[in-house]
Amino acid sequence: MVDEEILMPALSPTMEEGGLAKWLIKPGDFVKAGDIIAEIETDKAIMEFEATSDCKIKSLLVEEGATQIKVNTPIIALEIENSQKLSASMKTAKITSEPKRVETKGPTKKTEIKKPSSKKEEVMTVRESIRDAITEEMRIDESVFLIGEEVGEYQGAYKVSQGLLEEFGMGRVIDTPITEHGFTGLAAGAAFAGLRPIVEFMTFNFSMQAMDQIINTCAKTLYMSGGQMNCPIVLRGPNGAASQVAAQHSQDFAPWFSSVPGLKVVQPFSASDAKGLLKTAIRDPNPVIFLENEMLYNDPLASSNVDEELVPFGKARILRQGSDVTLISYGIGVKHALQATILAEEKGISIELIDLRSLRPLDYASIFSSVKKTNRCITIEECFPVCSIGNHLSASIMENIFDYLDAPVINCTGKDVPMPYAKNLETAALITVDEILTAIKKVLNHS
């Protein structure tokens, strides 16, 4: 007899850990390939986990209900005849087919969603805060509705809209066919008629299909109608790179949308800002592009206490006060910038870190006053380098406060390449903390 193990599987590109929602087997059971052995909960959904070959269960190594089990942690010990030795693929326990969802009608007890609460001390994830913002606004205003792919029965492709269908029903949480151009135009029409649609793009990569309606309809109609026809619409969803989903699914569109008059564009980092900005966005009578980031939905660094305040547009947040270098960032860039700040501070460098939060309108006043103080500036973002927000900030700083600069502004961005798939190449294509530290050194040593 040889013992083998089944490991905690990775069920999504970004999954690092998960929970064991339910065991469907017990020690001593014989299991055939394809049998469902457990339900595994990720931060996106609860999924069935199948055996990939025939085996006998010796023991279960984690308890039902356990959470935060790291991927590749042994969860089942197997008893195996030598002649039936498991194939290598079983050892890593990667599932071979698309995981099947078991949850369609709202959360289970274990995933019971937290009802929006006014408790200020509670730490929330970005995902929860976005859901709460939508929930609260839908409770206040009957004209607010959520529309997009998989927002209802599936509970959101990234679980952001979990529980909303249950509370608001099919009339206000509307699952669409896969038809971005069509449903964006339809939502724009509903907005012209006075409703307040929240359009979820499963990711902003798919918003490219709807670009004409976003730019030519949503952004321009107010102007073209001489101020008569406003479009109170929120277009939201994850934007930027996730993890190893390659070029067509990994792009930061912030600079694209930010270049268009008529749109408002925000890209929060923290849970608190996500909620406050989204509530502001939903109440705004103009079209708002609300850029989220899949990697931040559950990130502890981005999780925060969430208060009830609305966050105004056009107001940057000074995350750290400092005197040597100004770092300006937004969205997931703030995470890299924060990490670089901590390392720089250990070396005695005083960093002023600005989270823009809002890209259009942009808080020029805070940027200029910070750079006037530090005389050095680095911008940090994940988008392509050409025509980045940083490019625009560099130009604005040069035009307005050139004499205050002690060094050229450096733009840290993603690389000028389509996003590669291989992990090492992907890492190289994205912005790194080291690159920020190098830039800090460079602006400090400029003479």
Partner 1 sequence: MAPVKIKQPSLSLIESYKKMLLIRRFEEKAGQLYGMGKIGGFCHLYIGQEAVVVGVTATRIPGDQTITSYRDHGHMLACGMNPKGVMAELTGKRTGYSKGKGGSMHMFSKPENFFGGHGIVGAQVPIGAGLAFANKYRKTNNVSFTYFGDGAANQGQIYETFNMASLWKLPVVFIIENNQYAMGTSISRASSTPKLYSRGEAFNIPGELADGMDVLEVFKAAKRATSHCRKGKGPYILELNTYRYKGHSMSDPAKYRTREEVQNMKDEKDPIENLQKILLRQGESEENLIEIDQEIKAIVSEAAQFSLESSEPDISELYDDIYIKNDG
Which stretches of the chain bind partner 1, using CB under 8 A? 145, 171, 176-177, 179, 181-195, 212-213, 216-217, 221-230, 261-262, 264, 283-286
Q: How far is the CB of 161 from partner 1 (least distance, A)?
A: 18
Distances, alpha carbon 266 to alpha carbons 88, 131, 178, in Å: 46, 17, 25
Active site residues: 180, 249
Q: How far is the CB of 359 from partner 1 (least distance, A)?
A: 15
Q: How far is the CB of 114 from partner 1 (least distance, A)?
A: 27
Q: How far is the CB of 142 from partner 1 (least distance, A)?
A: 9
Q: Which residues of 49-71 are buried (b: 16+ CB within 10 A; e: fewer)?
A: bbbbbebebbebbbeeeeeebeb
Nearer to partner 1, 161 or 280 (CB): 280
- Kindly report each contact of residues 185-192 with a partner whose C-beta sits within 8 Å and lies 24 or more positions away, as own/partner: 185/210, 185/213, 185/217, 186/147, 187/147, 187/233, 188/213, 188/217, 188/218, 188/221, 188/231, 188/233, 190/145, 191/218, 191/230, 191/231, 191/232, 191/233, 191/287, 192/221, 192/229, 192/230, 192/231
Q: How far is the CB of 257 from partner 1 (least distance, A)?
A: 15
Q: How many beta carbons lie within 10 A of that of residue 222, not counting itself?
A: 18
Nearer to partner 1, 157 or 231 (CB): 231
Nearer to partner 1, 278 or 371 (CB): 278
Nearer to partner 1, 14 or 286 (CB): 286
Q: How far is the CB of 223 from partner 1 (least distance, A)?
A: 5
